[in-house]
Amino acid sequence: MISVHIMYPKTDDSTFDMDYYCATHMPMLADALGDACKGWGATSCLGGDIAAIGWAMVESKDAFDAAMAEHGGAIMADVANYTNVAPQLVLGEVAH
């Protein structure tokens, strides 16, 4: 099992639409992952240099890579609909 964290930096002029992100973008990612998606969520960060974090639990890196190979273009094209910053992706093996 891997965790996928998508972090959105906070800058002086950054914007982020959490309603759109939760209602449209993250469900799009979950649909692309299909049965390999074991859960997902989003967090509005309080303070610091990150505005928001999306996360998904995914069956395997291979499943994530396959979904992104097929649907990654559409997923990345949607980013402009909710933010004006580039997301930072962090993948990790779930330890517990």
What tens digit of pLDDT does each residue of 43-69 get? Answer: 999 989 999 999 999 999 999 999 999
The answer for residues whose C-beta is within 8 angstroms of residue 7's C-beta and 6 or more apart is: 50, 52, 53, 87, 88, 89, 90
Which residues does residue 43 pair with via DSSP β-bridges, in sequence order? Answer: 53
What is this structure's pTM? Answer: 0.93
Q: What percent of the chain has pLDDT over 70?
A: 100
Share of the chain above pLDDT 90, in %: 98
Question: Which CATH number does the domain 2-93 belong to among 1.10.3720.10, 3.30.70.100, 3.40.190.10, 3.40.630.30?
Answer: 3.30.70.100
Each domain of the chain, given as residue ranges in start order, spans 2-93
pLDDT, position 47: 87
The pair of three-digit structure tokens given for residue 32, joined into one six-digit string: 């692309």
The residue ranges of DSSP E strands in 1-96, in sequence order, are 2-9, 37-44, 50-58, 88-93
Quickly tell me which residue has 């069956």 as its tokens.
59
Beta strand 2-9 pairing with 50-58: antiparallel
